[in-house]
């Protein structure tokens, strides 16, 4: 908790400092600072290297650990300062079609690219969206991060009452936005990802199968500093309601995630090994 509080102070200072820079300088400096600062976290760098080794064995181009932290610096810069990059959207019509079915939508993204901008994009669409998030232990950090998130969305923390709240949202045809690449407070479900067993959270897929709700995968990717493309994939509709339907949704989602990891490995900010036993409750957005 104390560490998170200190981090919140540091991030506030960094955001204020970055606002003084020109666009060219801000991205160049943010990337360089993130690479340099990553040297203070050798365990996280080793985890990134292990993840990259698995992804690249599946056919990805060679990506350096520094490439991941450089992109993370750009993502962090936009989120903390509120800078508005140029955004183009591919596939919005797929999400709109799924919503018109009236079964609700589970909009599933990952810690890939500038994922926090996804909430702001959905808010601009005027959707009834609730974002599920893992709260921080420090009130100072939680207040700071929440102040940077999108207006116009509702937020539901993981924990007691979250399952009931999510069910009510889907029952009224609302939209839930959730991160789906690492388990939150659960062991997760094994899937084949990049040729090896990994674990994805089971919760979103249980809700999709139970409510007959489609999973809509979406990714907010960095094309260049200050330029973003949001890609919406085809909705994944559940076939049935039982365990087989849940497993089917998980496997289909893993195939989509694998494609994006191979194509955009430098933008996956997973700072623990994704192909080892999960650590429930440890993984956070930043």
Rounded CA separation 38/124 (Å): 34
Cα torsion through 203, 204, 207, 213, rounded to 10: -170
Per residue in 65-118, pLDDT tens? Answer: 999 999 999 999 998 888 889 999 999 999 999 999 999 999 999 999 999 899
- What DSSP designation does 102 have? S
Residue 235: which of 87, 99, 89 has the closest Cα? 99
> Quick one: pLDDT at residue 98?
95
Question: What percentage of the chain carries pLDDT values higher than 70?
Answer: 96
Contact call for residues 63 and 269 (beta carbons, < 8 A): no
pLDDT, greater one: 13 or 238: 238
Beta bridge partners of 251: none
Max intra-chain CA distance, the chain: 54
**Lowest-confidence pick of 5-14, 45-54, 222-231, 259-268:** 5-14
pLDDT bin (cut points 50, 70, 90) of residue 143 is: confident
Kindly tell me if the per-residue pLDDT of 281 is higher than 60.
Answer: no
pLDDT bin (cut points 50, 70, 90) of residue 58 is: confident
> Quick one: pLDDT at residue 279?
41
């Amino acid at each position: 908790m104390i560490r998170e509080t200190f981090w919140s102070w540091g991030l506030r200072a960094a955001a204020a400092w970055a606002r003084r820079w020109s666009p060219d300088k801000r991205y160049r400096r943010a990337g360089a600072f993130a690479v340099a600062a990553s040297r203070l976290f050798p365990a996280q760098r080793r985890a990134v290297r292990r993840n990259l080794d698995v992804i690249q064995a599946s056919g990805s181009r060679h990506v350096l650990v520094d490439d991941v932290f450089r992109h993370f610096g750009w993502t962090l810069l936009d989120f903390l300062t509120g800078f508005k990059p140029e955004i183009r959207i591919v596939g919005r019509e797929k999400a709109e079609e799924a919503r018109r079915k009236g079964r609700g939508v589970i909009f599933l993204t990952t810690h890939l690219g500038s994922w926090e901008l996804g909430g702001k994009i959905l808010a601009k669409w005027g959707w009834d969206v609730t974002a599920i998030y893992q709260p921080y232990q420090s009130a100072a950090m939680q207040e700071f991060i929440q102040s940077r998130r999108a207006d116009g969305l509702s937020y539901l923390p993981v924990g007691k009452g979250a399952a009931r709240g999510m069910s009510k949202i889907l029952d009224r045809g609302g939209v839930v936005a959730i991160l789906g690449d690492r388990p939150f407070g659960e062991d997760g479900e094994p899937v084949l990802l990049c040729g090896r067993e990994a674990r994805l959270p089971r919760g979103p897929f249980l809700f999709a199968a139970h409510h007959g709700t489609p999973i809509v995968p979406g990714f907010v990717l960095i094309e260049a500093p200050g330029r973003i493309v949001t890609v919406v994939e085809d909705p994944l509709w559940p076939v049935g309601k039982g365990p087989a339907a849940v497993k089917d949704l998980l496997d289909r989602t893993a195939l989509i995630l694998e494609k994006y990891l191979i194509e955009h490995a430098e933008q996956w900010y997973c700072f623990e090994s994704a192909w080892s036993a999960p650590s429930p409750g440890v993984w956070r957005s930043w």
